[in-house]
Structure formats: structure tokens, C-alpha cells
Structure 1
Amino acid sequence: MARNIATSTTVPLSEMLAFVRPRHRMLLATTRTDGRPQMSPVSGGVDDEGRIVISSYPSRAKTRNAERDPQTSVLVLSDEWDGAWVQVDGTAEILHMPEAGDGLVDYFRCVAGEHPNWDEYREAMTLQDKSLIRITPTRWSPIATGGFPADVAARLDAL
């Protein structure tokens, strides 16, 4: 039986962003005050400026941590557990209401498409006092898939 072979494909920024755009399941890593990582499962997207955008609240650890230390990482996962992924490192900018309003509209569009009532959406974001985390990519890993190293798969297939 043929084994899945792990892949690792180095891509330029434009291809990395094209890979991330349709994928909205992410793990956001920020740094706690004690230096250890804070991992948060989030939904995210890519805005027109090529930044990863994530909706949050001012009191959440991820928001407070990114305000204190803007160096963040995002692991972007495929919908399938064994699908491809990429880690994106970058610098976060945090926007709170009312400055976050237009960015939250962009966030919604890139994650879910058009809203049936933008005025209602903006009102809800204001009522919820939402924040927006915008991460400008500074480096990224190769786009990878899991599996066996090719030499190990060959040995196993030969058995």
C-alpha cells in the first residue's frame, strides 16, 4: 500500500496568501507576560492589504498579548485534518471600536462573504465592542503536508 509522503513547498508571499485566503481555521500564537506562548483557535481571513485579520474582544488574552508584544504567529490549517498548512509569522496591529469598524467589515467579507445588512452588522460590532487583530506577514514556513519522509515510505512500501 502506497504511503502518504510529506511535502514542503517554499512559496513567495503572493502564493502563500493565495493558499491562506480560502482557509479560515487558524491557531494564533501570542506571548504571555511570562514569555510562554498563548495559543488561541480563531477564524481568520486575508484582507485586501495582504494582512491576516482576526476578530476578537479587547479583554481577550490574545488581544492584550498582541498589544503588549506585536510579534505573533498564525498556523493556518486546511479544513481536512490531514490537509496542508502554513505557519505565518508577523507583526500585529490591534484596532478597537470605533476605529475597528471598517476593518471588521473587511474581516467578515473575507471569511463569510457579503452580509445581508451592513448597518445591522456594524451596530452589532459596536454593541459587542469588538476588536480587530491585523497581522502583517514578515516570514512564513513552506506550505506543508503530513506523511512519511520519502525514504521511510519507500522502505515501508518495499516490505
Structure 2
Amino acid sequence: MTLAAAVLDALKSRGWMATAAESCTGGMVMAALTDVPGSSAVVDRGFVTYTNAAKQQMLGVSAATLNAHGAVSEEVAREMAAGALRHSDAQVAVAITGIAGPGGSEHKPEGRVCFAIATETTPPVSETVEFGPLGRDKVRSAAAEKALTLLQIAANTA
């Protein structure tokens, strides 16, 4: 069984719908979930919010948060997850924002990805993973896999 299929099973067992707010993964989480037959029973919608404007318009991320912390931050990831829940019919949301590469900076290096997970009864919880300069494709794939794992954990423990 694939990770995406396991996530769908966990969501189905809880009777939950899921949503994702994705930046650097550009929809890879939702693509993985919807590749599995029967996903429409638990996948509500996805938000690809690559720009700061999209994060603000579609998810309600605060300009002040973006200005203070930058798009690649746990603060923004938490606001993305909360906004995805508010703007969907889902009970669980995952958010991903990061620097897939190439590039980055001393303060925000390539491979840094911030995640948040939220449910309708729990506030967003965030974490940062330093995947390192693996290359754009590998960082994005690793980030999507991590996001799916967070969804699975939330569905199994919330």
C-alpha cells in the first residue's frame, strides 16, 4: 500500500475530509492523494499558493506575518493551515512552504521546508525540516512525503 493510500484509509476511518495548502510542492500532495481511486471520499480541495499574494488572498495569511517572518516560516505555515481549514469543508489541513532550490540564502537555505498541520479541534502545529541542497525535485518529493505522513499521523491520533 502506498503512503497516499494509507493516508486515505486513515482519513476514511475517521470520517474526515482533508485539504492542503501548498507552496513549494505546487500541488504534489493533492496529486498523490487523488492518484488513488476513491480519494473523492476524503479529499475536499487543495490550495496552491505559490506567491505571497496568493497566500493572503486564498488563505488569509497576514501581510504582517509575511513581512515579519517571510513566506518560509513556521508562522506562515500555521496561518496557511488555519486558512485552508477556514476556506474548506475539511477537518484536517496540512500546509507546506519552503525553498526547494536552487538558491536560498544564509538565513533560509535551500532545502528548508516549514510544515503545519491543523484539525478542526486543534490549533496548527508546525515544524521545520532541513532537507538540505538535494536538488529541487528531491526536496519537493521529500516535502510532499512528509506532508502525507503528517496527515496520516493526524488522522490516526487526533
Bucket of the pairwise TM-score, normalised by the shorter protein = under 0.3
Q: Which has the higher contact order (CA 8 A, sep 6+)?
A: 1
More strand by share: 1
TM-score by length of 1: 0.27
More helix by share: 2
| Bigger Rg, which one | 1
TM-score by length of 2: 0.27
